[in-house]
Amino acid sequence: MDTPLLNEVIELCRQAGDAILEVYQRTDSLDIHTKADHSPLTAADLAAHRVLASALPPLLDGVPVLSEEGELPDFSARRHWNRYWLVDPLDGTKEFINRNGEFTVNVALIERGEPVLGVVHVPVLGVTYAGEKGKGAVKIANGTRSAIATRRIHQVQQAGQPLAVVASRRHGTDAVDDLLARIRSQLGPIESKSMGSSLKLCLIAEGAADFYPRLAPTCEWDTAAAQAVVEAAGGVVLDAQLKGLRYNQKDSLLNPFFYVIGDRSFGWEALLS
């Protein structure tokens, strides 16, 4: 899979990642502020935002950019956007502050509420995940571009391996524990992997995990890019009603609770409903 638009977005995400690393590698303060919603903001968030907010619109003749660190238009204006860029310049700011490397640059192209192109770049690792609807997904590492795909549950079971479930490093809930207990009772042992940012979804896209339940708040820019990668790789992201996760459908930019599934042919409905 190699398309000009996707390649341009990949390069922009790398540039944004380089801007983040310039701040990350400082030996002095990370220049941390607190936003109105009490979440942290650093100079790295703003540096990456400036790279993307200026360079994305020309790629598609002025298609608007909705960024976590930019101005938020009223829904009365946004509701008419059939196509726009949805951006989280630095997903995992707390991971950035804690210097654990688990933060990403997320850029998605949304068309009629659906993420059709997505790039997730991991600055510390120099790794990029990218996907485009109908064209597959790739992982770029050490200069090598490799196709990635989700894995099938029956293959996991035939190999005698446990189901791999990925969870948030910071947002575990009793509801998740109850759900995993129900899955464990029907499918057997579960291997749990904890991770920050949109990397959780990327693990599923590359077949390193099978399931990610998110039963805690997220915003639309947290998930769109990685959802595009997961779905291009053969998986699916479903809301609590087991319908595809959609974007720009309401005034609030909070996502509903959702499930990220690698094997969309498996009978998840019986476990999740």
Single residue among 129, 148, 167 that ends a domain in this structure: 148
Q: Looking at the structure, do residues 60 and 181 belong to the same domain, yes or no?
A: no
Q: List the Cα angle 260/70/93 in 5-degree steps.
A: 55
How far apart (Å, rounded) are the C-alpha atoms in residues 164 and 156?
A: 9
Q: What is the CATH number of the domain that holds 176?
A: 3.40.190.80
Q: Looking at the structure, do residues 95 and 160 belong to the same domain, yes or no?
A: no
Q: Looking at the structure, do residues 42 and 137 belong to the same domain, yes or no?
A: yes
Q: Which two tokens stand for residue 12?
A: 């922009």
How far apart (Å, rounded) are the C-alpha atoms in residues 32 and 254?
A: 24
Q: Looking at the structure, do residues 102 and 227 belong to the same domain, yes or no?
A: no
Q: Looking at the structure, do residues 92 and 222 belong to the same domain, yes or no?
A: no
Torsion (CA) 34, 53, 107, 145 in degrees, nearest 10 = -120
CB 67 within 8 A of CB 89: yes
Q: How many domains does the chain have?
A: 2
Q: Looking at the structure, do residues 69 and 160 belong to the same domain, yes or no?
A: no
Enumerate the known binding-site residues for Mg(2+): 68, 88, 90-91, 222
Single residue among 148, 169, 202 that ends a domain in this structure: 148
Q: What is the pLDDT of residue 171?
A: 58
Sign of the dihedral defined by the CA atoms of residues 230, 232, 233, 237, in that order: positive
Q: What is the pLDDT of residue 94?
A: 84
How far apart (Å, rounded) are the C-alpha atoms in residues 29 and 101?
A: 17
Enumerate the known binding-site residues for substrate: 68, 90-93, 222
Q: Looking at the structure, do residues 127 and 206 belong to the same domain, yes or no?
A: no
Single residue among 133, 148, 163 that ends a domain in this structure: 148
Residue 103 main-chain phi, psi, to 5 deg: -135, 155
Q: Looking at the structure, do residues 52 and 144 belong to the same domain, yes or no?
A: yes
Q: Which domain holds residue 70?
A: 4-148
Q: What is the pLDDT of residue 254?
A: 97
Using the CB atoms, write b or e for 95-131: b if 16+ within 10 Å: bbeeeebbbbbbbbbbeeebbbbbbbbbbbeebbbbb
Q: Looking at the structure, do residues 199 and 140 belong to the same domain, yes or no?
A: no
Q: What is the pLDDT of residue 134?
A: 96
User: Mean pLDDT in runs of 10 for the chain (273 residues)?
Assistant: 91 98 79 64 90 97 94 95 97 87 96 99 98 98 96 93 86 82 92 90 97 95 99 98 97 97 94 87
| Strand-pair category, 190-195 with 163-168 | parallel
How far apart (Å, rounded) are the C-alpha atoms in residues 57 and 172?
A: 37
Enumerate the known binding-site residues: 68, 88, 90-93, 222
How far apart (Å, rounded) are the C-alpha atoms in residues 66 and 69?
A: 9
Please name the residue that has the structure tokens 């079971």: 157
Q: What is the pLDDT of residue 151?
A: 97
Q: What is the CATH number of the domain that holds 139?
A: 3.30.540.10
Q: Of 256, 253, 202, 254, which is closest to residue 231 (Cα–Cα)?
A: 202
Q: Looking at the structure, do residues 144 and 169 belong to the same domain, yes or no?
A: no
Q: Quick one: residue 177, left, alpha or beta (phi over 0 = left, psi -120 to 50 = alpha)?
A: alpha
Q: What is the pLDDT of residue 233?
A: 99
Q: Looking at the structure, do residues 84 and 178 belong to the same domain, yes or no?
A: no
Q: Looking at the structure, do residues 78 and 203 belong to the same domain, yes or no?
A: no
